[in-house]
Structure 1
Amino acid sequence: MQDFWFRLSLPIVFSALFALLLWGVFSASYALLFMLLALLTVMARHAWQLYKLGIWLNDARLETMPEAGGIWDDVFSHLYKMVKQHNQTKQKLATELQHMEQATAALPEGVAILNDANRIEWFNPIAQQHFDLDAEQDVMQDITYLVRQPEFIEYLHESDFSKPLMMRPARHDDLVLSIKLIPYGGDKRLLISRDITQFERIEGMRRDFVANVSHELRTPLTVVNGFVENLQDMPDLSQESAQRALRLMAEQTRRMENLVADLLVLSRLENDQNPLREEMVDIGVLLNEVYQGGMLLSGGKHVLHLEVEGSTRMSGNREELRSAFDNLLGNAIRYTPEGGSITLRWFERGGQPVFSVQDSGIGIAALHIPRLTERFYRVDRSRSRETGGTGLGLAIVKHIAMRHQARLEIFSEEGKGSTFSLVFPVRRLVKAD
């Protein structure tokens, strides 16, 4: 710094000394005139360098340093280093900010920063979706003006945030959020929102499943328990009555066994750790076995037809395919009145192999069709129990279809019958050489 001021004042000192010399040789007028011209020259030069400095600093690029003489070389050089260091720091901060924004955008949770007045300072895209925020208008807005559910406002003003808040946003009532506040930095709070809609849906399905299983088991257990109590309380019961009671108890026991067996099958099919074991399946032989089993189940009460066309070799799991085919045929037999006809078909549609079961049964109303593959869903509960159904057959068929990349098609009309079809992908069909 001392060197800078020395170099700055040196021209003025030399000019003053020369002016004194002129004063001694000539007169004070010549000395003052020279001193004035010298000062004007120095000021003009500095003004010109300041002008160049202003232009250079206004240049957004600042890539090249302008040339200057004397002390201005040091000024420009020092400023250039400062600007370069500032730009490097600015670039580093911008890169880090970009990385942070990318990281927060990749988070599955919504994140928003609130100040001590509950105003939104920043939020990521997921929080924007959860709370329907506007990136341009809602920054520094009071969040209670934007999210107005009473339970949220009450939670916001609590002092204990150890437990999350479960809520449904006003504009997205199909969404379930888990909200948690985390204080940090003295007067700021992180608002974290997590979409738990799927979890809540699964939890609801689990509750319904447990309730349905309990209900399905309660009826046969009640019947069996009732007959056991009657047999205990009535030792002199006639042989005929005792046999009738035992027969009904056996029916209810079989019903429970079938339910447990179907539950085990469904559990195995839903297990991600149980991959599909594929093999070459002769569909012609398999369908003949299904047809013979259907004849026994029908007991001659229905007219069954089997039609097989096209290639009958397919890649898949024979046991699972047999289960799916048996379930579809069993449903057709249970819901087709005596004397009705049932047709099993294997054919190709647009190159895709298709298995279908068509019956002339009671049919199904259109409003029930979308829910038929739900566990324990029954169009007519009393008829299902009478025919021995567990309410899990079509759920099993759906999962077997998914494991074989197939789709289940259902066409039905009340009073005219139904057609259930499994449409498999072309790649599973093995053409004959």
Structure 2
Amino acid sequence: MNVIWARSAAILISVAVASAGLYLWRGPVWALSLGCLALLGQLGYYLYQINRLWKVLDAPAYGEIPSALGLWGEVYYRLHRLVKRWRLQVLQVEQQHLRFIQAIQASPNGVLMLDDADQIEWCNDVAEHHLGLNARRDVRQRITHLIRRPEFVQYLMRQRFDDPLVMRDMGSHKHGVIAVQILPYGENRKLVLTQDITKLENTEAMRRDFVANVSHELKTPLTVLTGFLETVRDLPVSEEDRRRYVDLMLVQSMRMQHIVEDLLALAKLESDAQAPGYEPIPVNGMIAHLLHDAEALSQGRHRITSDVDAGVILRGSETELFSALANLVSNAVRYTPDGGQIGIRLAMDEGHAVFSVSDTGLGIAPEHIPRLTERFYRVDRSRSRDTGGTGLGLAIVKHVLSRHHADLRISSEVGRGSVFRVVFPLDRSGHEAQQVRGGDMPQRAA
């Protein structure tokens, strides 16, 4: 027997006992009157509490459960406990929903939900950015009224969503590439996923350009070699012409060899995930080697000066850094007309070691500077080939400096020359004077 039946039985038994006692004392009339009054009072109390309960159920509000004595107190207590349990369940569902929304908002992909009429129910911030929408303004609007691109409308109406749709010139800046994938779910509802593939498209374009450039760079010397070999094989030529042809073929073969060597060097740098060590580099010897190579390449056609702080300390891979700095110096020699001046400088600047190469050459237009470190990118293709460049030197410089966490800063003015500055990080820079004062070598930065 539960508590309601127990308390109801207790009340009835109490009324019966009281009526029986009054019957023995005053007679049946008094006993009957007491029983009737008790039952009427109980009924009136029940009607009052039922009215209170009706008001609570008609306009429920958490925490406004009335209190009462006896049986109705037990009813209200249990109702309060039930409401509290339901409220906890609702709060848990709301927290799960909030975490779900936060997780979708944190996603790098856009998420947009459509109802059975292709109207927007909800979308995250990334989808707003990708598709140029506003969640508050555009809710309950048909998606085709907001995105009127013909390819998107056809993709939505075709109902074949196996492959994503690629849309160009999208996003807030109208220059991105967005992949859109629609996933049906529920009762004729759709989930629209968007992904910014601009970087992937650029990478793919760079790959295609790279293959085309490699093919083009190798095709020219191979064509020359093939032509001279056919000439030597099929036509009678004098010994002087034969020697001249062989010299030209040797130049072209060496050019192909340099291209292959630079490509292998780039591949090695890109595949080597291990950062270079922090061994001190003999700076004076490396700079002397750079000056010797520059003078040999110039053959007296330029004035080459150097300003080197002998106390500067560099840490890293000597082979890699020499290759990068040698590329900067050789470029300055190649692209500076005869009689020009080339300056090599190594000094400390605010705790950083800075290597710079300046020249009085042709200079570089501002629009070319951001692309100088791309493979095979040349400001002047014909001049680059004439001077023996492979078009990969600055790409090697970029990868070497990236592995050493150094920055390449380029400033140039057309007709007045250029300055290439390499700024090394604090953990790869030092000075003998600082070392003497500090005692120990600077530690690697965290």
TM-score higher than 0.5: yes
Deviation at 1:239, TM superposition (A): 0.6
Deviation at 1:194, TM superposition (A): 1.5
Residues in 2 aligned to 1:305 and 1:172: alpha-carbon distance in whole angstroms: 47
The 5 Å alignment of 1:225-244 reads 225-234=226-235, 236-244=236-244
Report the CA distance shift for 1:281/1:182 in structure 2 as closer, same or farther (over 3 A): same
| C-alpha contact 1:52 1:66 (8 A) present in aligned 2 | no
| C-alpha contact 2:353 2:430 (8 A) present in aligned 1 | no
Deviation at 1:145, TM superposition (A): 1.7
Q: Name 1:180's counterpart in structure 2.
A: 181
Provide, for residues 381-413 of structure 1, a one-character-per-residue CA deviation record: whole Å limited to 9, x for no partner: 111110101111122212222222221122222
Report the CA distance shift for 1:128/1:249 in structure 2 as closer, same or farther (over 3 A): same
| C-alpha contact 2:117 2:142 (8 A) present in aligned 1 | yes
Residues in 2 aligned to 1:164 and 1:98: alpha-carbon distance in whole angstroms: 29
Provide, for residues 229-263 of structure 1, a one-character-per-residue CA deviation record: whole Å limited to 9, x for no partner: 111220x2101111111111111111111111111
Residues in 2 aligned to 1:53 and 1:427: alpha-carbon distance in whole angstroms: 76
Structure 1 position 138 matched with structure 2 position 138: yes
SS at match of 2:137: coil
SS at match of 2:175: coil
The 5 Å alignment of 1:299-314 reads 299-309=299-309, 311-314=311-314
Residues in 2 aligned to 1:300 and 1:89: alpha-carbon distance in whole angstroms: 86
| C-alpha contact 1:282 1:312 (8 A) present in aligned 2 | no
Residues in 2 aligned to 1:113 and 1:160: alpha-carbon distance in whole angstroms: 17
Residues in 2 aligned to 1:420 and 1:344: alpha-carbon distance in whole angstroms: 10
Residues in 2 aligned to 1:133 and 1:361: alpha-carbon distance in whole angstroms: 50
CA RMSD of aligned residues (A): 3.4
| C-alpha contact 1:405 1:425 (8 A) present in aligned 2 | yes
SS at match of 1:353: strand
Residues in 2 aligned to 1:421 and 1:91: alpha-carbon distance in whole angstroms: 59
| C-alpha contact 1:49 1:68 (8 A) present in aligned 2 | no
Provide, for residues 345-376 of structure 1, a one-character-per-residue CA deviation record: whole Å limited to 9, x for no partner: 11122232111112222222333223222222
Aligned AA (2:293): G
Deviation at 1:154, TM superposition (A): 0.8
| C-alpha contact 1:346 1:353 (8 A) present in aligned 2 | yes
Aligned AA (1:248): L
| C-alpha contact 2:130 2:171 (8 A) present in aligned 1 | no
Q: Which runs of 5 or more structure 2 residues have no equivalent in the other structure? A: 437-446
Deviation at 1:152, TM superposition (A): 0.9
Residues in 2 aligned to 1:339 and 1:389: alpha-carbon distance in whole angstroms: 20
Q: Name 1:358's counterpart in structure 2.
A: 358
Aligned AA (2:283): I
The 5 Å alignment of 1:14-25 reads none
| C-alpha contact 2:365 2:412 (8 A) present in aligned 1 | yes
SS at match of 2:158: coil
| C-alpha contact 1:53 1:76 (8 A) present in aligned 2 | no
Q: Name 1:110's counterpart in structure 2.
A: 110
Deviation at 1:205, TM superposition (A): 0.8
Deviation at 1:312, TM superposition (A): 2.8
Residues in 2 aligned to 1:324 and 1:134: alpha-carbon distance in whole angstroms: 49
Deviation at 1:172, TM superposition (A): 4.2
Q: Name 2:198's counterpart in structure 1.
A: 197
SS at match of 1:157: helix
What TM-score, normalized to structure 1?
0.86
| C-alpha contact 2:360 2:416 (8 A) present in aligned 1 | yes
Residues in 1 aligned to 2:338 and 2:314: alpha-carbon distance in whole angstroms: 34
The 5 Å alignment of 1:248-267 reads 248-267=248-267
| C-alpha contact 2:357 2:420 (8 A) present in aligned 1 | yes
Report the CA distance shift for 1:117/1:252 in structure 2 as closer, same or farther (over 3 A): same
Deviation at 1:35, TM superposition (A): 7.4
Q: Name 2:62's counterpart in structure 1.
A: 60
Report the CA distance shift for 1:272/1:127 in structure 2 as closer, same or farther (over 3 A): farther
SS at match of 1:179: strand
| C-alpha contact 2:337 2:361 (8 A) present in aligned 1 | yes
Aligned AA (1:154): Q
Structure 1 position 288 matched with structure 2 position 271: no
SS at match of 1:136: helix
The 5 Å alignment of 1:397-416 reads 397-416=397-416
Moved more, 237-246 or 163-172: 163-172
Q: Name 1:224's counterpart in structure 2.
A: 225
Deviation at 1:48, TM superposition (A): 5.5
| C-alpha contact 2:132 2:171 (8 A) present in aligned 1 | no
SS at match of 1:203: helix
Residues in 2 aligned to 1:208 and 1:98: alpha-carbon distance in whole angstroms: 46
Report the CA distance shift for 1:344/1:170 in structure 2 as closer, same or farther (over 3 A): closer
Provide, for residues 286-321 of structure 1, a one-character-per-residue CA deviation record: whole Å limited to 9, x for no partner: 000111111211222222222212523211110111
Moved more, 249-258 or 159-168: 159-168
Moved more, 375-384 or 412-421: 412-421
Residues in 2 aligned to 1:170 and 1:296: alpha-carbon distance in whole angstroms: 53
Deviation at 1:159, TM superposition (A): 2.8
Aligned AA (1:319): T
Structure 1 position 119 matched with structure 2 position 106: no
Q: Name 2:442's counterpart in structure 1.
A: none
Residues in 2 aligned to 1:366 and 1:131: alpha-carbon distance in whole angstroms: 33
Residues in 2 aligned to 1:85 and 1:365: alpha-carbon distance in whole angstroms: 72
Provide, for residues 149-194 of structure 1, a one-character-per-residue CA deviation record: whole Å limited to 9, x for no partner: 1111111112321111111336442221211122222422221112
Q: Name 1:91's counterpart in structure 2.
A: 91
| C-alpha contact 2:312 2:348 (8 A) present in aligned 1 | no
Residues in 1 aligned to 2:344 and 2:334: alpha-carbon distance in whole angstroms: 15
Report the CA distance shift for 1:198/1:366 in structure 2 as closer, same or farther (over 3 A): closer
Moved more, 237-246 or 309-318: 309-318
Residues in 2 aligned to 1:365 and 1:99: alpha-carbon distance in whole angstroms: 51
| C-alpha contact 1:149 1:170 (8 A) present in aligned 2 | no
Residues in 2 aligned to 1:280 and 1:78: alpha-carbon distance in whole angstroms: 79
Percent pairwise identity = 42
Deviation at 1:41, TM superposition (A): 7.8
Deviation at 1:380, TM superposition (A): 1.4
